[in-house]
Amino acid sequence: MQTALMAESGLSRLGSQLASDLVPVVGSVLGTRAEFNRCYFLAYRPGDYIAAHDDKQTGNRINLQIPVPLGCRSCIRILDEGTGLLEMKEDIAGQLRFLGPAVWHDVPPFVADQSAIRFNFMLRYRYGND
């Protein structure tokens, strides 16, 4: 269903074009060549929660997140290795986040009207020998 929705809405085309344009930026940040893999989105409703985790099992990949909070204030929390605490990073529409596989993070629930939704538009890149 997500694939059809993304194709019909034009998000697949938009994501592919944006991802192609960002390949040099991603490669520069990583210090190595990166290749666009796919785009997808995650959707959260009020009360949804994802516990702290990393994504090392996904191999050499980096996700670029573009948060789109609709009718809510939401965030992701990223582990600060210096303090050992999860640091809040508020979702701002249009913001671009780099999230690598070794980054510990969680997604706390947000409180809002049931019509609110938090989207993360994701661009995945692969790099290295993966």
In CATH, what number is assigned to the domain containing residue 67?
A: 2.60.120.620
pTM: 0.84
Cβ atoms of 118 and 69 within 8 Å: the answer is yes
Give the structural domain span for 38: 2-126
Number of domains making up the chain: 1
Per-residue pLDDT reduced to its tens digit, 69-116: 999 999 999 999 999 999 999 999 889 999 988 899 999 999 899 999
